Amino acid sequence: MALNPSIAQPTSAPLDDRIAWAVDGLTVELPSWGFVNTGTRFRVFPQPGVPRTVFEKIDDAATVKRYTGIAGTVALHIPWDRVDDFASLAAYAADRGLLIGGINSNTFQDEDYMLGSLCHPSPAARAKAVAAIVECCEIAAEIGSRVVKVWLGDGTNYPGQDDLRWRRHRLVAGLREIYPHLPEGARLFLEYKLYEPAFYSTDVQDWGQALSVSRLVGDRAMVCVDIGHHAMGVNIEQIVAILLAEGRLGGFDLNDKKYGDDDLMLGSIDPYQLFRIAHELVNAMRDDGDPVAQRCARETVYMIDQCHNIEPKLPAMIRSVMNLQEAFAKALLVDREALVAAQAAGDVLEANRVLADAFATDVRPALARLRVERGLPADPFQAYLVSGEAEQRAAARTGGAAAGWG
């Protein structure tokens, strides 16, 4: 399959043409739970106009799509988004220009999962967790979703609480039991997290653990990289590069952090890191000499995963989508031929300059022009703020229980 022409544009092409993929080719997935009331361990902060049902969550996702043009799929979280008729829900989304994306499993909020889910010492608790994720596979089959995503809150709080080696054996066995239930062509994403909620050991703590488990489960078991789920100073773009080389990068949960898993707007703290990650992906898309990485990069899912605790939900989501576009636009401006030449020559400063120059380019005017050419607002964030839609939404959504965690 040929690359999207926007990816393959030569450096001599006009700037607008070189970055067009960020408007035409990039697809962003929105999380249904990103529009609901969330907070910290200490307080959930309610906001006006928050969705009360999964249908209203889809309405909000469709609004982001209408302003940005590229947020075309919405991820569901089960059981938070469970309905009686998922086919009707998918049709509702399609009527609003959306596809249902990943089906995210929840095996961490039920009381039975206090000591874990797939890694739990009790066979009954493990069986319950397996059944919950199998249900997600069945939902994915019903609505045509291509991804079932697993994040586990499994871990221990004290040394000696459980056998760490046998917890891993249980994890692999549980995922192997789930794997045959994946719909044809669908992939299983395994997410990792450095810490929280476990205080002593976390059963899928880092990308290496997630990768090694995925290899034991099957070819369609992939790793999901959450940018916030790493120790301070970790080189996330190197992790991305390795997973691409292995053909095991499934997707991203996109956010930003200053200290821990902060779920801040994407690119709000370290836009240069986001650019470096985008560069690895664009570099792989362009690399005909590494077909495994090239295919993997082209199939990567970019999902926003943020809990907007104090900021308004929709404009924060729009800002994150725009920040991702800017990062990829800059990555598309990297002169690959000059970079490869400098690397081959061992010219450290020149190679770094090629990247730094691309990052320093202000791509916002060009992105604005490209959006306008496609009938979109030049600045989706400002366009939403002045539209009056936030006030209309708040007025329409009075009464009932606002959706939130749980």
> What span, in angstroms and rounded, lies between the C-alpha atoms of 346 and 340?
10
Alpha helices in 257-344 (DSSP H): 271-286, 291-298, 313-332, 336-344
Both structure tokens of 170: 């249980």
Q: Which residue has the tokens 């907070």?
A: 39
pLDDT band at 6 (very low <50, low <70, confident <90, very high): low
Looking at the chain, the whole-number percentage of residues with pLDDT higher than 90 is: 90
Instruction: Tell me the mean pLDDT in the region 328-350.
Output: 98
Sign of CA dihedral 112, 114, 116, 121: negative
Q: What are phi and psi of 379, to 5 degrees?
A: -125, 95
CA nearest to 258, candidates 278, 230, 239, 225:
230
Please give the pLDDT value at position 14.
Answer: 94
- For the chain, the domains span 19-396
For the entire predicted model, the pTM comes to 0.96
Residue 110 has pLDDT above 80, yes or no: yes
Residue 339 has pLDDT above 50, yes or no: yes
pLDDT band at 59 (very low <50, low <70, confident <90, very high): very high
Which tops the pLDDT comparison, 40 or 354?
354
Record: fold of 19-396: TIM Barrel (3.20.20)
Residue 405 has pLDDT above 80, yes or no: no
Query: What is the SS3 assignment for 60?
Result: helix
Please give the pLDDT value at position 99.
Answer: 98
Looking at the chain, the whole-number percentage of residues with pLDDT higher than 70 is: 98
27 with 297: CB under 8 angstroms?
no
Sign of CA dihedral 388, 393, 398, 404: negative
Quick: pLDDT tens for 226-251. Answer: 999 999 999 999 999 999 999 999 99
Residue 10 has pLDDT above 90, yes or no: no
Q: Which residue has the tokens 């190197």?
A: 238
72 with 28: CB under 8 angstroms?
yes
Q: Around Cβ 14, how many Cβ atoms within 10 Å?
A: 10
Please give the pLDDT value at position 404.
Answer: 77
Please give the pLDDT value at position 406.
Answer: 56
Average pLDDT for the chain: 95
Quick: pLDDT tens for 113-170. Answer: 999 999 999 999 999 999 999 999 999 999 999 999 999 999 999 999 999 999 999 9
Burial class (CB in 10 A: 0-12, 13-18, 19+), 219: exposed
pLDDT band at 290 (very low <50, low <70, confident <90, very high): very high
